[in-house]
A and B are shown apart, each in its own frame.
Chain A
Amino acid sequence: MAKESKPWYTRIGTGIWKFFASLKLTIIVLISVAFISIIGTVIEQNQPLEKYLMAYGESWTKFIIYGNLNNMYHTWWYNGLILTLAVNIIVCTFERFPTKWNSLLKHKPKKFTAESVNQFANKRTVKVSAGLEETRTRVAAILKKNKYKTVKFDGNSDEDFTYCWRGVIGRFGSDITHVSLLLILFGAIIGGFYGYKDFKVVYTGDTIEVPDVDYNLRLDKFWIEYYESGQIKQYNSLLTVVEDGKDVLTKQIWVNEPLDYKGVRFYQSSWGNAWDRIAKANIAMIGKEKEQIYSNMEIDWGVLTKIPDTEYSVKLIGFAGDFAYDEERNEVFSKSAEANNPAIQIEVYRGGKLISSPWIFIKYPGIFPAIPDSEEDIVFGGYTGLLYSGLSLNKDPGVNIVWLGCLIMVSGFFLTFFVYHRRLWVYIHTVDGGTEVSLGGLINKSNFVFEREIENIAKKIKGDTEV
């Protein structure tokens, strides 16, 4: 047999092709992906390990980590299923589209017989008193008004054969939708490879470097608006794009209103109290022995300030909202973003010379002497916090391809669901006392619509309604 004689690789190739050309595969993969996706909504994604241990215990956590169920939507097997769908779409399109194209657009309608019109499920016959010629013109006008394209076949003075159709483009809606899905996938892949996401904590006046582009961004102002009830209405940042040292653009952004510049978008994504700096601190110089306050003052961040009537100057250089000390790295840090144990670091100058840089605490005044070998000490009384603006940076060169794909997909749906392909065969012939018109046809969807339309056309031919 011919089939046997084909080499093994051709047979395997055909087998694979047939596997991917199957609609049953589509249904099974779609339902499988749907069910598998549920896992990732039940197991919270990308959480710290401890959270899984607490929620699921050790053995299940091992299973989750081993199977990458904590980052499920980026695993090879999940993406493999999506890829299967993509290949399925491509193969199905190659398999079906050319045939469809030829049969629908390059088709040569065959001449039909009077009997064949009566074989359709949707049919109607009307009798009119007018002559054949007059009826024919009338029918042609009605069909034209109903947006039908027509082909006429040879008839004679007693008979007339017309084939007409409408909405053939609706048949291609599914192909357009399928291609748009590939386009969306392509856009997502482009975004994944060439884009990035970043998050920055920015303070007023700071300039941040933006990766991959030749400009910087400065935060000029950050503020929060409140409703009268005290709820937060909106938070805003005033951003300036700095290019070659020059300000080129200033824009106010808020949640839902990003700044878009040269392919990178800047979003207002959060805000908060700074844990590693403040705007102002209240300090006082006291006498150690007599607990006498010499001077009570407010100092600004980073500004060398002279303490009146003394030889000392101080500069505020550090803050920790929840003081902690890392012995290994010899570093001070904030344990949390809460102000549980606020501390500031100041530089103390005597006569213009740096003599110490101590950490001082609100809760524990005098625990470390601020000025070594001296009768005076400095205490930390309070502070004015600083808000930071949390900015998300996002470069996604694929996103516009995705939107284009979505637009095409929706138009594909419109064609698929609402543009019906109708074909109508019309046979007109002379009978006793007039002319008889027989209509019969097919629709690719919704017989109901078609029944009504044929009914309607028949009525118009009869003359019950105006043409």
Chain B
Amino acid sequence: MILSLVFFTFSFIFYLVTALVYVANWFVKKKWLGQIATTMAFVTLFSTSMILIMRAGESGHAPFSNLFESMVLFVWALNIGYLLMEYRYKFKSLGAVIMALEFIAMLSASLLPYRFKSVEPLNPALQNKWHFMVDFLSKFGLEDYAIGWLDFHVFTTFIGYAAFAISFGLALTYLVKNKAEVKGKKNFLLDRFPDSKMLDELSYIAIAWGFPFLTIGIVTGAIWANEAWGRPWSWDPKETWSAITWMIYASYLHARVTRGWRGRRAAWIAVLGFVAIIFLYWGVSFILPGLHAYA
């Protein structure tokens, strides 16, 4: 319990610092500031990874079993996703948006009531393990750390969420920048972002990553539900909301190839999609009753 919370506190502070450095770099573009920002992003990534590793050690199972752990997983995946994008497309201005999102996510994780944070042994429904992995790991006495469809489901879903978070940041920036471009306004802060066409393209690429991962997440969730409850799909609020977000992003993909819908309208759908993701993730867990009461 102790070490993972120590790393959580560190990460919390690191994310704040990282966000501030990225914002500073956005306002006063300096090479050294950018380098510090990226370095800080790596430091926070390490620290976030340590939360997960420590948590696994403390709980004795893969760290994907409650809302708190899944929040850390989300933050971790978003960090990796952002760094990959920064490395590949060579611009750091979006870091200010993404790291701010990361900080908000860490803040909300820290505000979770204790019962969502505590280390709990797995209840019967959560004990879904692949037999081959249990057999293999039991040779080393590590069978408790075997994963199954459930862990796979959580992991892929959160990679999807992270990709959607990036697309959300990009779509918002696109909407602002595009408006300024259309009006012909100049603004040095907006100029530090790539042109709106590129932002649109990148937002699409993020969704092109998120959508298959969300789909795999839904499918593996159905496989798990089929093993735990005897039916792949039961219109539980979590399941229905996952279908809702899936359909919103499916409509985004179709909007992008339809005349009259690409551009701003598609970007609004991407924003709507992430709002649905937030509700799918938090709203359903806290407001709507259902089977999927873990996270």
- The stretch from A123-131, A132-140, A215-223, A226-234 touching chain B is A226-234
The residues of B that contact A12 with a CB separation of less than 8 Å are: none
Q: Is B216 an interface residue (CB 8 A)?
A: yes
**Do B201 and A269 touch (CB < 8 A)?**
no
**Do A30 and B250 touch (CB < 8 A)?**
yes
Known contacts A24-B261, A256-B227, A447-B201; is A413 also within 8 Å of B212 by CB? yes
Q: Is B128 an interface residue (CB 8 A)?
A: yes
Mask, A33-74, CB within 8 Å of B = 1, is 111011011101100000000000000000000000000010
The 8 Å CB contact of A269, one of B148, B219, B229, is B229
The residues of B that contact A399 with a CB separation of less than 8 Å are: 226, 232
Q: Give the distance in Å from the alpha carbon of A44 to the alpha carbon of B234 in the complex.
A: 12
The 8 Å CB contact of A413, one of B125, B211, B276, is B211
**Do B228 and A197 touch (CB < 8 A)?**
no
Q: Is A156 an interface residue (CB 8 A)?
A: no
Mask, B198-218, CB within 8 Å of A = 1, is 100100010011011001100
The residues of B that contact A235 with a CB separation of less than 8 Å are: 124
Q: Give the distance in Å from the alpha carbon of A409 to the alpha carbon of B213 in the complex.
A: 12
The residues of A that contact B247 with a CB separation of less than 8 Å are: 30-31, 33-34, 37
**Do A27 and B227 touch (CB < 8 A)?**
no
**Do A256 and B124 touch (CB < 8 A)?**
yes
The 8 Å CB contact of A30, one of B227, B229, B254, is B254
Nearest B residue (CB) for A416: B208
Known contacts A33-B247, A255-B127, A413-B212; is A41 also within 8 Å of B284 by CB? yes
**Do A258 and B227 touch (CB < 8 A)?**
yes
**Do A37 and B127 touch (CB < 8 A)?**
no
Q: Which of B233-264 contact A (CB under 8 A)?
A: 233, 235, 237, 240-241, 243-245, 247-248, 250-251, 254-255, 257-258, 260-261
Nearest A residue (CB) for B122: A233
The residues of A that contact B201 with a CB separation of less than 8 Å are: 446-448
Q: Which of A256-277 contact B (CB under 8 A)?
A: 256-258, 265, 267, 269
Q: Is B188 an interface residue (CB 8 A)?
A: no
Give 18 A-B contacts (CB < 8 Å), ordered by A residue. Answer: A26-B251, A30-B248, A31-B247, A31-B269, A41-B241, A232-B124, A254-B124, A255-B127, A256-B124, A256-B128, A267-B227, A267-B228, A267-B230, A392-B229, A396-B231, A406-B219, A413-B211, A418-B208
Q: Give the distance in Å from the alpha carbon of A34 to the alpha carbon of B125 in the complex.
A: 28
Q: Give the distance in Å from the alpha carbon of A396 to the alpha carbon of B257 in the complex.
A: 37
Question: What distance in Å separates the Cβ of A205 from its nearest Cβ neighbour in chain B?
Answer: 23
**A interface, by DSSP: helix, strand, loop or mixed?**
helix
Question: What distance in Å separates the Cβ of B73 from its nearest Cβ neighbour in chain A?
Answer: 21
Mask, A400-417, CB within 8 Å of B = 1, is 001100100110011011
Q: Is A23 an interface residue (CB 8 A)?
A: yes
Q: Give the distance in Å from the alpha carbon of A44 to the alpha carbon of B287 in the complex.
A: 12
Most buried by A among B233, B241, B248, B251: B251
**Do A417 and B248 touch (CB < 8 A)?**
no
Known contacts A27-B258, A38-B244, A402-B232; is A410 also within 8 Å of B251 by CB? no
Q: Is B288 an interface residue (CB 8 A)?
A: yes
**Do A410 and B212 touch (CB < 8 A)?**
yes
Question: What distance in Å separates the Cβ of A84 from its nearest Cβ neighbour in chain B?
Answer: 13
Interface residues of B (CB under 8 A from A): 89, 120-121, 123-125, 127-129, 148, 198, 201, 205, 208-209, 211-212, 215-216, 219, 222-224, 226-233, 235, 237, 240-241, 243-245, 247-248, 250-251, 254-255, 257-258, 260-261, 269, 276, 284, 288-289
Q: Give the distance in Å from the alpha carbon of A37 to the alpha carbon of B260 in the complex.
A: 26
**B interface, by DSSP: helix, strand, loop or mixed?**
helix
Which range holds the interface residue count of chain A? Answer: 35 or more
Q: Give the distance in Å from the alpha carbon of A235 to the alpha carbon of B258 in the complex.
A: 53
The residues of A that contact B123 with a CB separation of less than 8 Å are: 231-232
**Do A23 and B288 touch (CB < 8 A)?**
no
5 residue pairs, one from A and one from B, having the closest CB atoms: A255-B124, A267-B230, A30-B251, A417-B208, A41-B237
Interface residues of A (CB under 8 A from B): 23-24, 26-27, 30-31, 33-35, 37-38, 40-42, 44-45, 73, 188, 197, 227, 229, 231-235, 254-258, 265, 267, 269, 392, 394, 396, 399, 402-403, 406, 409-410, 413-414, 416-418, 446-448
**Do B258 and A410 touch (CB < 8 A)?**
no
The residues of B that contact A34 with a CB separation of less than 8 Å are: 243-245, 247-248, 251, 276
The residues of A that contact B128 with a CB separation of less than 8 Å are: 256
**Do A413 and B215 touch (CB < 8 A)?**
yes
Nearest B residue (CB) for A45: B235
**Do B235 and A234 touch (CB < 8 A)?**
no
The residues of B that contact A394 with a CB separation of less than 8 Å are: 230-231
**Do A40 and B235 touch (CB < 8 A)?**
yes
Q: Give the distance in Å from the alpha carbon of A254 to the alpha carbon of B201 in the complex.
A: 48
**Do A197 and B230 touch (CB < 8 A)?**
yes
**Do B240 and A41 touch (CB < 8 A)?**
yes
Nearest A residue (CB) for B236: A41
